[in-house]
């Protein structure tokens, strides 16, 4: 089955009180439209068509600059409803295969739910995604016959008092045969209170022709949308709840879920423990028996098994191997790599550097643009002076090196294996292997000193 995906991304978002088009309003650290784009790409369709409208050039620019692959863009010049929006995409769809309709402002739908929907449509012209929600006001209600087959979707404005008591709603997401979809779109009319072309009328179109209509159900949290900042906050909370629930099902222990925020994609091994006040962003992978202390921020980071991240650490864009200890109060960023059994202690910052196996920097150090070998010790107060005011330079430290406390290593610099740097040194030239380097003023003591 050839699959096409249409993403409706024409919204203005006036109630958001923003100058941005609605698809580019941020949820956590990503624009709303990025979430259905990620989901769509995971389904590996033959084509993705985005229906844009308000500030269409900004939406197109974002999509192309932040996503690999080919995309088709079309414009909905008038806001005449969801049916009208999909109609703009119809010329870009093949006559065969199926088309899945997604929404830029319904970002939390999962690939699991969509795969179920796609499967349900294998022998049907159309299949819809529904959900049973606690507050159905504002949504189209699912009308079913005596055999519980869906026959219609009644929009809120057109629903009777009895129909408004139905809590099963249409999420807006559907999949249909392309031939059926194109013919159905041609037959849509605007004889409703909103004066719009409803995509939902395709269900009635199929029912009147006695065509079987499929349906699957998604969790309530997956189908939340947002029209204002208050609803956006609810959407954020729903996203966090879904992500935490998924991690808990894999066996992760959260000390206090009410203070933890899993905003991105979290992959966990067995026996992971996460403290309170932890924020997880982007793509984070935690191996088996990983312990994350309280007040930690993780972003786009992989942490190997049996590693411990102590309290008050900030780790972004980093890779940590197994049996590593970090913190408390440490910062790793911009491509920091810690090999197995390394240790980064309190008030140490590592940027764009590799820390070798069994190497330690226990406290108060800055390691930037450096490559440090195995079994080395970086003393307290050590700084790699990597910036000369115009350019960044590399520091290379070999295996089994001892850097004394309060040392300044002025890059570009090489410190050979099994060498020593005396405490308090300012090192400006390479240190040969097996050498002792010291670069500090000779101490002078003035006896019988008196304060003037």
Distance CA 175, CA 421 (A): 67
Does the 250-437 domain belong in CATH 2.160.10.10?
A: yes
Tokens of 202: 């395709």
Tokens of 244: 């935490």
Confidence at residue 452, expressed as pLDDT on a 0 to 100 scale = 66
Which residues in the chain are classed under CATH 3.90.550.10? 3-223
**Residue 291: strand pairing partners:** 273, 308
Confidence at residue 85, expressed as pLDDT on a 0 to 100 scale = 96
Low-confidence ranges of the chain (pLDDT < 50): none
Cβ neighbourhood burial of 450 (10 Å; 0-12, 13-18, 19+) = exposed
Q: Is 364 a catalytic residue?
A: no
Fold of the 3-223 domain:
Spore Coat Polysaccharide Biosynthesis Protein SpsA; Chain A (3.90.550)
Bridge pairing between strands 354-355 and 331-333: unpaired
Confidence at residue 207, expressed as pLDDT on a 0 to 100 scale = 87
- Structure pTM? 0.86
Q: Could you report the per-residue pLDDT of 34-85, keeping only the tens digit for each?
A: 999 999 999 999 999 999 999 999 999 999 999 999 999 999 999 899 999 9
Which residues in the chain are classed under CATH 2.160.10.10? 250-437
Confidence at residue 37, expressed as pLDDT on a 0 to 100 scale = 97
How does DSSP classify residue 257?
A: G
Catalytic residue among 84, 363, 364, 393: 363
């Amino acid at each position: 089955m050839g699959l096409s995906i249409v993403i409706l991304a024409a919204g203005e978002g006036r109630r958001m009180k923003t100058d941005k088009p609605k698809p580019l309003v941020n949820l956590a650290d990503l624009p709303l439209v990025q979430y259905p784009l990620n989901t769509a790409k995971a389904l590996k369709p033959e084509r993705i068509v985005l229906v844009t409208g308000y500030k269409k050039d900004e939406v197109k620019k974002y999509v192309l600059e932040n996503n690999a692959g080919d995309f088709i863009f079309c414009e909905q010049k008038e806001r005449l409803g969801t049916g009208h929006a999909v109609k703009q995409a119809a010329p870009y769809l093949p006559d065969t295969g199926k088309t899945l309709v997604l929404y830029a402002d319904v970002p939390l739908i999962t690939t699991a739910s969509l795969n179920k929907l796609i499967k349900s449509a294998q022998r049907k012209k159309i299949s819809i995604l529904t959900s049973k929600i606690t507050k159905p006001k504002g949504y189209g209600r699912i009308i079913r016959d005596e055999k519980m087959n869906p026959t219609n979707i009644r929009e809120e404005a057109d629903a009777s008092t009895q129909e408004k008591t139905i809590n099963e709603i249409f999420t807006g997401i559907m999949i249909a045969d392309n031939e059926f979809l194109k013919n159905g779109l041609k037959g849509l009319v605007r004889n409703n209170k909103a004066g719009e072309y409803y995509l939902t009328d395709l269900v009635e179109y199929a029912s009147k022709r006695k065509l079987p209509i499929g349906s699957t159900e998604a969790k309530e949290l997956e189908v939340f949308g947002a029209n204002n900042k208050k609803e956006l906050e609810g959407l954020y909370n729903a996203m966090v709840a879904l992500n935490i629930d998924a991690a808990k099902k894999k066996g992760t222990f959260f000390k206090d879920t009410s203070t933890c925020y899993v905003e991105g994609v979290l992959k966990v091994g067995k026996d992971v423990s996460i403290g309170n006040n932890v924020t997880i962003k982007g793509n984070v992978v935690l191996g088996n028996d990983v312990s994350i202390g309280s007040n930690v921020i993780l972003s786009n980071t992989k942490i190997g098994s049996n590693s411990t991240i102590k309290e008050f650490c900030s780790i972004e864009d980093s890779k940590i191997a197994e049996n590593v200890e970090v913190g408390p109060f440490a910062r790793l960023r911009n491509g920091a790599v810690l090999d197995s059994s390394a240790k980064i202690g309190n008030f140490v910052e590592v940027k764009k550097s590799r820390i070798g196996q069994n190497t330690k920097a226990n406290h108060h150090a800055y390691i930037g643009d450096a490559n440090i070998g195995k079994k080395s010790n970086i003393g307290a107060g050590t700084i790699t002076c990597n910036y000369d005011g115009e350019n960044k330079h590399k520091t290379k430290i070999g295996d089994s090196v001892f850097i004394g406390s309060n040392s300044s290593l002025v890059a570009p610099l090489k410190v050979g294996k099994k060498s020593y740097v005396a405490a308090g040194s300012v090192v400006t030239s390479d240190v040969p292997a097996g050498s002792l380097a010291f670069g500090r003023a000779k101490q002078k003591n003035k006896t019988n000193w008196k304060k003037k």
